[in-house]
Chain A
Amino acid sequence: MSVAAPSAAALAVEGLQSGYGEVQILWGASLALAPGKLTTVLGSNGAGKTTLLRTVMGLLPAWKGTVRFDDRDVTRLSAHEKADLGMVLVPEGRQLFSTMSVVENLEMGATCRRARADRKRSFDQVFTLFPRLAERRGQLAATLSGGEQQMLAIARGLMAKPTILMFDEPSLGLSPLFTMNLFEIIRRLKREGLTMLLVEQNVQLALAVSDYAYVLSHGKVEIEGEAREVRQMEAVRKAYLGL
């Protein structure tokens, strides 16, 4: 909360607690996304990154704390209501509609009224960004390669006309070449001024593209700061960059 006052943030998370069943994972995580900026959340396995995103989106109920979007309390809204408002998550493991075609997956992305009105243009945009998907438009999502599936997952998210786009481990399982491609796309979206939240296991790359970074540990924010400052921190270099 040190940089952006809550009212200036596109998304503000305050003291969020949640978990699965009896097991608490998040212990009061707080963070804020500045509009038009790329924010990254780092942390080792089990630090609570995915739980954070799932709770922010409402796939998991928040036990305590608040999520504010556009200065409005959205903590208790369900995931589809949040998507309707423009909060879009590209989930871990892609989570495509595997038995549906590429085009159908994209159509599902453009479900909310806001996105549906602009569907034609979104299709053009997405097919320009990912020409590969245009070639494979009729194919079932399950038959795409891993890299193509990740493209489709991102494209599907873009079809929703996000105000905030969140990524959960987008480079997981991708070849180095595809990973570079992916980060090129993220850079491009950043230049276009999209507010983004990136959870990524490739810490080096994530810090290189991000404006601001949070380091999550045991369900709480341990370190935060401008990405290039965080990159220089001794603790981060040791724990996450292997330097």
Chain B
Amino acid sequence: MSLEALLPSAIDGLMLGFVYGLAAMGLTLIFGVMKVINLSHGPVIALGMFAVFLLFSSFGINPYVGVLAAAAIGLLFGTVIYFVAVDRVINAPELTTLLATFSVNLMIIGVGTVLFTTSPRSVDIDLGALRGSGVTILGTHAVAVVIAVLAAAALYGFLFRTRVGKQVRAVANNRAAAELMGIDSRRMLALAFGIGTALAMTSGALLSTLFAFTILSGGTYELKSFVIVVLGGLGNPTGALVGGLVIGLLEGVLTVFIPVAWVPVFEYLIFLVMLQLRPAGLLGSRA
């Protein structure tokens, strides 16, 4: 319980926060664009982990190439989820879309458990470490941060600099008006769901290079994503990234003082306090 343990732990937590933030960005993007609370988020994160694992263990594909592949698969898979499960209920009340995505959750978990069982897997990768005075930064952690930051930047570049990205924002802002301007809103919703899923899978893919996992591991990160999204303001991707860093840092610091099992208690305490005091999130809600 010394302060010497605090700095490395805080740095570790902060780095992990980027990966949490990335997953939360996916969740918040989907909510921001179509007001759907995506309960398939967790299993999709787990699929990201397994994408990297299977490509690596079966074909010997480099895990970081696997991360790219996971993003691409996520984009495709998310679009499929949208058209199969979400599109038919997109105008229904929020509870209906929540249940629709929950059914996708159950299907992925069910099929995944049959195929992969629930025994832990890991991707064996060692990139060495940077050692400073009392601080050690693992190579895999550093690369995960870089990739998470690049993915977040790519999302912003897409939403604010490209024509299609602006169309997604227009649909998020006012769907009827977007239709009146000739924007195919259904296509944009499907794309947004695809991108949200791709972000979740990328995050899962990065997590697979850090920790062991099972098909059920996504659940933990899904719950974390919800805390982060509320912290950052529903529908606000920047807020999600910031919220991710806050939660990561908090985890890092808390585990120095209390057992890991107690950390979620504090996270949900924050969740409740935020909902009571600042429901719009730390940054307020935009977009």
Contacts and interface: CB of A to CB of B under 8 A. Distances in A.
Nearest to A54: B176
Contacts of A57: 180
Contact of B166 (A59, A91, A107): A107
B178 interface: yes
B169 interface: yes
Nearest to B184: A80
Given A99-B286, A99-B287, A104-B166, A109 B181 contact: yes
A99 B173 contact: yes
Interface stretch (A82-90, A128-136, A176-184): A82-90
B249 interface: no
A172 to B, nearest CB: 16
A160 B181 contact: yes
B180 A88 contact: yes
Nearest to A59: B176
A63 interface: no
Given A59-B179, A99-B287, A107-B163, A80 B185 contact: yes
B179 A98 contact: no
Given A59-B179, A80-B179, A108-B167, A100 B173 contact: yes
A79 B179 contact: yes
A111 B177 CA distance: 12
B170 interface: yes
A127 interface: no
Contacts, number: 69
A79 B174 CA distance: 14
Contacts of B286: 99
A100 B184 CA distance: 18
Contacts of A88: 180
Which among B166, B170, B178, B182 has the highest number of chain A CB atoms within 10 Å? B182
A77 B182 CA distance: 12
A95 B180 contact: yes
Interface residues of B, number: 19
A41 interface: no
A224 B250 CA distance: 70
A97 B180 contact: no
Contact of A111 (B169, B181, B287): B181
B183 interface: yes
Q: Is the interface of B mostly helix, strand, loop or mixed?
A: helix
A122 to B, nearest CB: 13
Contacts of B173: 97-100
Contact of A96 (B163, B169, B177): B177
Contacts of A91: 176-177, 180
B174 A111 contact: no
Nearest to A89: B180
Contact of B174 (A96, A107, A109, A160): A96
Contact of A95 (B167, B174, B183): B174
Contacts of A79: 176, 179-180
Contacts of B174: 95-98
Interface in B151-189: 163, 166-167, 169-170, 173-174, 176-185
Contacts of B176: 59, 79, 91, 95
A7 interface: no
A156 B182 CA distance: 12
Contacts of B185: 80
A108 B179 contact: no
A84 B181 CA distance: 8
A98 B169 CA distance: 11
A125 interface: no
B177 A95 contact: yes
Contacts of B287: 99
21 contacts: A59-B176, A79-B176, A79-B180, A83-B180, A88-B180, A95-B176, A95-B180, A96-B174, A97-B173, A98-B173, A98-B174, A100-B166, A100-B173, A107-B163, A108-B167, A108-B178, A109-B181, A111-B181, A111-B182, A112-B182, A115-B182
Given A78-B179, A100-B166, 19 more contacts: A59-B176, A59-B180, A79-B176, A83-B182, A89-B180, A91-B176, A96-B177, A97-B169, A97-B170, A97-B173, A97-B174, A99-B287, A104-B166, A104-B170, A108-B167, A108-B170, A111-B181, A111-B183, A160-B181
Q: For the complex of A and B, list the 7 residue pairs with the smallest distance between their C-beta atoms, beginning with the closest.
A: A83-B182, A79-B179, A95-B177, A112-B182, A111-B182, A97-B173, A108-B170
